[in-house]
Homo-oligomer: A and B are copies of this chain.
Amino acid sequence: MTNKIVQALIWKENGLSILDQRQLPSVLHYEHYTHSQGVAQAIATMQVRGAPAIGIAAAYGVVLSLKQHYGTTPAWRSAVYADIDLLANSRPTAVNLFWALDKMKAIIAQESTDVLAAATACAIAIHLEDQTANRKMGELGAEVIGHSKGLLTHCNTGSLATGGYGTALGVIRSVAARQSVAIYADETRPWLQGARLTVWELAQDGIPATLIADSAAAWLMKSGAIDWIIVGADRIASNGDTANKIGTYSLAVLAKQHGVKMMVVAPTSTIDWTLENGNAIEIELRDSSELLPESYHTPDSLVSAWNPVFDVTPATLIDALVTERGVVLAPSTRAEGIARLRNA
Protein backbone atom coordinates (compact mmCIF):
# COMPACT_ATOMS: atom_id res chain seq x y z
CA MET A 1 0.00 0.00 0.00
CA THR A 2 2.77 2.39 0.99
CA ASN A 3 4.57 2.39 -2.32
CA LYS A 4 1.47 3.34 -4.23
CA ILE A 5 1.11 6.63 -2.34
CA VAL A 6 1.61 9.53 -4.72
CA GLN A 7 4.38 12.00 -3.84
CA ALA A 8 3.89 15.77 -3.92
CA LEU A 9 7.64 16.42 -4.15
CA ILE A 10 10.37 14.38 -5.86
CA TRP A 11 13.96 15.54 -5.38
CA LYS A 12 16.31 14.75 -8.26
CA GLU A 13 19.98 15.45 -8.84
CA ASN A 14 19.19 18.42 -11.07
CA GLY A 15 16.13 19.88 -9.40
CA LEU A 16 12.77 19.48 -7.68
CA SER A 17 9.74 17.94 -9.37
CA ILE A 18 6.50 19.32 -7.96
CA LEU A 19 3.15 17.68 -8.61
CA ASP A 20 0.78 20.39 -9.85
CA GLN A 21 -2.07 19.83 -7.39
CA ARG A 22 -4.26 22.41 -9.12
CA GLN A 23 -4.78 19.94 -11.95
CA LEU A 24 -5.81 16.98 -9.77
CA PRO A 25 -7.75 14.72 -9.89
CA SER A 26 -8.08 14.83 -13.68
CA VAL A 27 -4.40 15.35 -14.58
CA LEU A 28 -1.29 13.99 -12.82
CA HIS A 29 1.44 16.36 -13.97
CA TYR A 30 4.84 17.15 -12.40
CA GLU A 31 6.57 20.44 -13.08
CA HIS A 32 10.37 20.34 -12.78
CA TYR A 33 12.15 23.28 -11.15
CA THR A 34 15.88 24.03 -11.27
CA HIS A 35 15.72 27.51 -9.70
CA SER A 36 14.40 28.60 -6.33
CA GLN A 37 12.25 31.39 -7.83
CA GLY A 38 10.18 28.75 -9.57
CA VAL A 39 9.69 26.92 -6.29
CA ALA A 40 8.56 30.14 -4.56
CA GLN A 41 6.09 30.71 -7.36
CA ALA A 42 4.84 27.12 -7.12
CA ILE A 43 4.14 27.66 -3.39
CA ALA A 44 2.45 31.05 -3.89
CA THR A 45 0.16 29.70 -6.62
CA MET A 46 -0.68 26.57 -4.64
CA GLN A 47 0.80 24.13 -7.10
CA VAL A 48 2.12 22.61 -3.88
CA ARG A 49 0.28 23.28 -0.60
CA GLY A 50 0.00 21.85 2.89
CA ALA A 51 2.16 23.17 5.72
CA PRO A 52 4.72 20.33 5.89
CA ALA A 53 5.04 20.07 2.09
CA ILE A 54 5.57 23.81 1.83
CA GLY A 55 8.40 23.58 4.36
CA ILE A 56 10.08 20.74 2.48
CA ALA A 57 9.69 22.48 -0.88
CA ALA A 58 11.20 25.65 0.55
CA ALA A 59 14.21 23.73 1.89
CA TYR A 60 14.83 22.24 -1.55
CA GLY A 61 14.32 25.72 -3.00
CA VAL A 62 17.26 26.95 -0.90
CA VAL A 63 19.37 24.05 -2.19
CA LEU A 64 18.57 25.13 -5.76
CA SER A 65 19.63 28.68 -4.90
CA LEU A 66 22.90 27.36 -3.45
CA LYS A 67 23.49 25.28 -6.59
CA GLN A 68 23.24 28.50 -8.55
CA HIS A 69 25.17 30.87 -6.31
CA TYR A 70 27.35 29.03 -3.77
CA GLY A 71 30.98 30.08 -4.17
CA THR A 72 30.43 31.96 -7.44
CA THR A 73 31.40 35.28 -5.86
CA PRO A 74 32.51 36.30 -2.36
CA ALA A 75 29.00 37.81 -1.94
CA TRP A 76 27.16 34.62 -2.87
CA ARG A 77 25.31 34.67 0.44
CA SER A 78 23.37 37.84 -0.38
CA ALA A 79 22.04 36.24 -3.57
CA VAL A 80 20.93 33.20 -1.59
CA TYR A 81 19.36 35.34 1.14
CA ALA A 82 17.37 37.21 -1.53
CA ASP A 83 16.02 33.88 -2.78
CA ILE A 84 15.19 32.89 0.80
CA ASP A 85 13.24 36.13 1.23
CA LEU A 86 11.27 35.29 -1.88
CA LEU A 87 10.49 31.84 -0.51
CA ALA A 88 9.54 33.31 2.88
CA ASN A 89 7.05 35.65 1.22
CA SER A 90 5.29 32.95 -0.75
CA ARG A 91 2.66 32.11 1.91
CA PRO A 92 2.27 33.79 5.33
CA THR A 93 0.47 31.37 7.65
CA ALA A 94 2.20 27.97 7.70
CA VAL A 95 5.10 28.18 10.11
CA ASN A 96 6.82 25.08 8.72
CA LEU A 97 8.00 27.30 5.87
CA PHE A 98 9.89 29.61 8.24
CA TRP A 99 11.09 26.70 10.37
CA ALA A 100 12.67 25.03 7.32
CA LEU A 101 14.20 28.28 6.08
CA ASP A 102 15.70 28.93 9.53
CA LYS A 103 17.35 25.51 9.43
CA MET A 104 18.83 26.27 6.02
CA LYS A 105 19.99 29.73 7.12
CA ALA A 106 21.88 28.19 10.04
CA ILE A 107 23.78 26.00 7.58
CA ILE A 108 24.48 28.84 5.19
CA ALA A 109 25.95 30.91 8.03
CA GLN A 110 28.61 28.27 8.67
CA GLU A 111 32.07 29.19 7.40
CA SER A 112 34.02 25.94 7.46
CA THR A 113 31.55 23.58 5.81
CA ASP A 114 30.66 22.50 2.30
CA VAL A 115 27.43 24.49 2.55
CA LEU A 116 25.87 23.02 -0.59
CA ALA A 117 26.44 19.45 0.54
CA ALA A 118 25.27 20.18 4.08
CA ALA A 119 22.16 22.02 2.88
CA THR A 120 21.27 19.22 0.45
CA ALA A 121 21.63 16.66 3.21
CA CYS A 122 19.52 18.81 5.54
CA ALA A 123 16.70 19.24 2.99
CA ILE A 124 16.61 15.52 2.29
CA ALA A 125 16.60 14.86 6.03
CA ILE A 126 13.70 17.27 6.56
CA HIS A 127 11.82 15.40 3.85
CA LEU A 128 12.56 11.92 5.23
CA GLU A 129 11.99 12.92 8.84
CA ASP A 130 8.58 14.27 7.88
CA GLN A 131 7.66 10.88 6.43
CA THR A 132 8.86 9.13 9.58
CA ALA A 133 6.99 11.62 11.74
CA ASN A 134 3.81 11.00 9.75
CA ARG A 135 4.01 7.24 10.30
CA LYS A 136 4.58 7.76 14.00
CA MET A 137 1.68 10.20 14.28
CA GLY A 138 -0.53 7.83 12.33
CA GLU A 139 0.02 5.10 14.89
CA LEU A 140 -0.25 7.42 17.91
CA GLY A 141 -3.44 8.98 16.62
CA ALA A 142 -5.03 5.63 15.78
CA GLU A 143 -4.33 4.48 19.31
CA VAL A 144 -5.99 7.53 20.84
CA ILE A 145 -9.05 6.95 18.67
CA GLY A 146 -9.40 3.25 19.33
CA HIS A 147 -12.64 1.93 17.87
CA SER A 148 -14.46 4.44 15.67
CA LYS A 149 -17.64 4.27 13.62
CA GLY A 150 -16.86 7.30 11.53
CA LEU A 151 -14.23 10.00 10.94
CA LEU A 152 -14.47 13.36 9.26
CA THR A 153 -11.55 15.32 7.89
CA HIS A 154 -11.17 18.76 6.35
CA CYS A 155 -8.88 20.01 3.58
CA ASN A 156 -6.07 17.70 2.47
CA THR A 157 -3.43 16.56 4.90
CA GLY A 158 -2.20 13.47 3.09
CA SER A 159 0.83 12.61 1.02
CA LEU A 160 0.09 15.63 -1.11
CA ALA A 161 0.39 17.99 1.86
CA THR A 162 3.42 16.41 3.51
CA GLY A 163 6.58 14.45 2.83
CA GLY A 164 4.37 11.38 2.40
CA TYR A 165 1.58 9.44 4.19
CA GLY A 166 0.06 12.50 5.84
CA THR A 167 -0.75 14.07 9.20
CA ALA A 168 -4.52 13.89 9.82
CA LEU A 169 -4.90 11.70 6.75
CA GLY A 170 -2.03 9.58 8.05
CA VAL A 171 -4.05 8.92 11.21
CA ILE A 172 -7.07 8.08 9.05
CA ARG A 173 -4.94 5.69 6.97
CA SER A 174 -3.72 4.04 10.18
CA VAL A 175 -7.24 3.71 11.59
CA ALA A 176 -8.50 2.28 8.27
CA ALA A 177 -5.67 -0.27 8.31
CA ARG A 178 -6.85 -1.50 11.72
CA GLN A 179 -10.61 -1.59 11.31
CA SER A 180 -13.51 -0.86 9.02
CA VAL A 181 -14.52 2.76 9.47
CA ALA A 182 -16.65 5.24 7.54
CA ILE A 183 -14.52 8.11 6.27
CA TYR A 184 -16.05 11.46 5.38
CA ALA A 185 -14.25 14.39 3.79
CA ASP A 186 -15.40 18.01 3.57
CA GLU A 187 -15.06 19.26 0.03
CA THR A 188 -13.28 22.34 1.50
CA ARG A 189 -14.15 25.46 -0.39
CA PRO A 190 -12.94 27.50 -2.06
CA TRP A 191 -10.09 25.36 -3.31
CA LEU A 192 -11.84 21.98 -2.96
CA GLN A 193 -8.83 20.20 -1.48
CA GLY A 194 -11.17 17.60 -0.03
CA ALA A 195 -13.01 16.91 -3.27
CA ARG A 196 -9.99 17.03 -5.53
CA LEU A 197 -7.22 15.66 -3.33
CA THR A 198 -8.33 13.88 -0.15
CA VAL A 199 -10.90 11.45 -1.52
CA TRP A 200 -8.67 10.92 -4.57
CA GLU A 201 -5.70 10.01 -2.35
CA LEU A 202 -7.80 7.63 -0.28
CA ALA A 203 -9.20 5.94 -3.39
CA GLN A 204 -5.64 5.52 -4.70
CA ASP A 205 -4.98 3.57 -1.51
CA GLY A 206 -8.13 1.47 -1.91
CA ILE A 207 -9.92 3.26 0.96
CA PRO A 208 -13.57 4.21 0.28
CA ALA A 209 -14.50 7.77 1.20
CA THR A 210 -17.64 9.90 1.19
CA LEU A 211 -17.54 13.54 0.21
CA ILE A 212 -19.84 16.11 1.84
CA ALA A 213 -20.47 19.82 1.40
CA ASP A 214 -18.69 21.80 4.15
CA SER A 215 -22.03 23.06 5.43
CA ALA A 216 -23.36 19.48 5.81
CA ALA A 217 -20.83 18.64 8.55
CA ALA A 218 -23.11 19.73 11.40
CA TRP A 219 -26.00 17.67 10.02
CA LEU A 220 -23.64 14.70 9.69
CA MET A 221 -22.61 15.13 13.33
CA LYS A 222 -26.26 15.35 14.39
CA SER A 223 -26.92 12.05 12.58
CA GLY A 224 -24.42 10.34 14.89
CA ALA A 225 -22.32 9.01 12.02
CA ILE A 226 -18.95 10.26 13.27
CA ASP A 227 -17.11 10.32 16.58
CA TRP A 228 -13.91 12.14 15.64
CA ILE A 229 -12.94 15.06 13.43
CA ILE A 230 -9.28 14.89 12.43
CA VAL A 231 -7.45 17.87 10.95
CA GLY A 232 -3.93 19.09 10.33
CA ALA A 233 -2.44 22.46 11.23
CA ASP A 234 -0.61 25.32 9.59
CA ARG A 235 0.61 26.92 12.81
CA ILE A 236 0.12 26.06 16.46
CA ALA A 237 0.77 28.60 19.23
CA SER A 238 2.48 27.66 22.52
CA ASN A 239 -0.89 27.28 24.22
CA GLY A 240 -2.28 24.93 21.57
CA ASP A 241 -4.39 27.43 19.61
CA THR A 242 -4.30 26.10 16.06
CA ALA A 243 -4.42 27.87 12.71
CA ASN A 244 -5.71 25.60 9.99
CA LYS A 245 -7.76 25.69 6.79
CA ILE A 246 -10.83 27.95 6.94
CA GLY A 247 -13.72 25.95 8.35
CA THR A 248 -11.68 24.16 11.02
CA TYR A 249 -12.83 26.57 13.73
CA SER A 250 -16.42 26.02 12.59
CA LEU A 251 -15.99 22.24 12.86
CA ALA A 252 -14.47 22.53 16.33
CA VAL A 253 -17.34 24.63 17.69
CA LEU A 254 -19.87 22.24 16.12
CA ALA A 255 -18.03 19.16 17.39
CA LYS A 256 -18.19 20.40 20.97
CA GLN A 257 -21.96 20.92 20.65
CA HIS A 258 -22.46 17.39 19.29
CA GLY A 259 -20.17 15.38 21.57
CA VAL A 260 -17.80 14.70 18.67
CA LYS A 261 -14.08 14.83 19.47
CA MET A 262 -11.55 17.04 17.74
CA MET A 263 -7.99 15.88 16.93
CA VAL A 264 -5.19 18.02 15.52
CA VAL A 265 -2.29 16.14 13.94
CA ALA A 266 0.92 18.01 13.12
CA PRO A 267 4.67 17.60 13.43
CA THR A 268 6.31 19.73 16.12
CA SER A 269 7.78 21.88 13.34
CA THR A 270 4.25 23.33 13.11
CA ILE A 271 4.43 24.71 16.65
CA ASP A 272 5.41 28.36 16.82
CA TRP A 273 6.95 28.65 20.29
CA THR A 274 7.30 32.42 19.87
CA LEU A 275 3.52 32.87 20.04
CA GLU A 276 1.78 32.81 23.39
CA ASN A 277 -1.60 32.19 21.78
CA GLY A 278 -3.35 32.17 18.42
CA ASN A 279 -4.31 35.85 18.30
CA ALA A 280 -1.04 36.88 16.68
CA ILE A 281 -1.14 34.33 13.86
CA GLU A 282 -1.31 36.06 10.51
CA ILE A 283 -4.31 34.78 8.55
CA GLU A 284 -3.79 34.77 4.80
CA LEU A 285 -6.51 36.52 2.81
CA ARG A 286 -6.47 35.22 -0.75
CA ASP A 287 -7.93 36.80 -3.85
CA SER A 288 -11.69 37.19 -4.01
CA SER A 289 -11.65 35.65 -7.48
CA GLU A 290 -11.30 32.25 -5.77
CA LEU A 291 -14.91 32.68 -4.65
CA LEU A 292 -16.55 35.06 -7.11
CA PRO A 293 -18.05 33.91 -10.41
CA GLU A 294 -16.27 35.61 -13.29
CA SER A 295 -19.15 37.89 -14.24
CA TYR A 296 -18.57 39.86 -11.00
CA HIS A 297 -14.93 40.59 -11.83
CA THR A 298 -15.60 44.13 -13.00
CA PRO A 299 -14.12 47.32 -11.53
CA ASP A 300 -17.54 48.77 -10.62
CA SER A 301 -18.98 45.54 -9.22
CA LEU A 302 -21.05 45.86 -6.04
CA VAL A 303 -20.19 42.25 -5.25
CA SER A 304 -17.03 41.50 -3.29
CA ALA A 305 -15.74 38.49 -1.37
CA TRP A 306 -14.07 37.92 1.98
CA ASN A 307 -11.67 35.05 1.51
CA PRO A 308 -9.64 34.19 4.63
CA VAL A 309 -8.15 30.78 3.90
CA PHE A 310 -7.30 29.91 7.50
CA ASP A 311 -8.92 30.37 10.88
CA VAL A 312 -7.78 29.81 14.45
CA THR A 313 -9.27 27.12 16.68
CA PRO A 314 -8.78 27.80 20.39
CA ALA A 315 -7.03 25.01 22.29
CA THR A 316 -10.10 24.73 24.52
CA LEU A 317 -11.92 23.07 21.60
CA ILE A 318 -9.18 20.53 20.89
CA ASP A 319 -9.38 17.08 22.50
CA ALA A 320 -6.07 15.69 21.28
CA LEU A 321 -2.94 17.17 19.76
CA VAL A 322 -0.90 14.44 18.08
CA THR A 323 2.76 15.09 17.21
CA GLU A 324 5.69 12.85 16.37
CA ARG A 325 6.97 13.45 19.90
CA GLY A 326 3.79 12.30 21.56
CA VAL A 327 0.16 13.08 22.21
CA VAL A 328 -1.22 15.85 24.39
CA LEU A 329 -4.82 15.23 25.42
CA ALA A 330 -6.99 18.30 26.09
CA PRO A 331 -4.03 20.68 25.59
CA SER A 332 -5.83 23.68 27.08
CA THR A 333 -5.94 21.95 30.44
CA ARG A 334 -2.22 21.12 30.49
CA ALA A 335 0.11 23.86 29.36
CA GLU A 336 3.08 21.83 30.54
CA GLY A 337 1.91 19.07 28.20
CA ILE A 338 2.61 21.13 25.12
CA ALA A 339 5.76 22.62 26.59
CA ARG A 340 7.20 19.17 27.12
CA LEU A 341 7.01 18.57 23.33
CA ARG A 342 9.54 21.36 22.89
CA ASN A 343 12.54 19.46 24.14
CA ALA A 344 11.25 15.92 23.94
Contact = CB atoms under 8 A, between A and B. Distances in A.
Interface of A: 25-26, 184, 186-190, 192, 195-196, 199-200, 202-203, 206-220, 222, 246-247, 249-250, 253-254, 257, 288, 291-296, 301-308, 311
A293 B26 contact: yes
28 contacts: A26-B293, A187-B190, A189-B215, A190-B213, A195-B292, A202-B302, A203-B296, A203-B301, A203-B303, A209-B303, A209-B304, A210-B303, A210-B304, A210-B305, A211-B291, A211-B305, A212-B307, A213-B246, A213-B307, A215-B215, A215-B246, A215-B250, A216-B246, A218-B247, A218-B250, A219-B246, A219-B250, A250-B254
A302 B176 CA distance: 14
Contacts of A190: 187, 213
Contacts of A188: 215
Nearest to A198: B303
This chain's copy number in the assembly:
2
Given A189-B213, A208-B304, A249 B26 contact: no
- A-B pairs with the 3 shortest C-beta distances? A215-B247, A218-B250, A214-B215
A156 to B, nearest CB: 14
A302 B190 CA distance: 23
Contacts of A311: 216, 218-219, 222
Contact of A306 (B210, B246, B247): B210
B306 A216 contact: yes
A296 to B, nearest CB: 7
A207 to B, nearest CB: 7
A214 B288 CA distance: 14
A195 B302 contact: no
Contact of A195 (B219, B254, B293, B308): B293
- Of A210, A294, A301, the most chain B CB neighbours within 10 A belong to A210
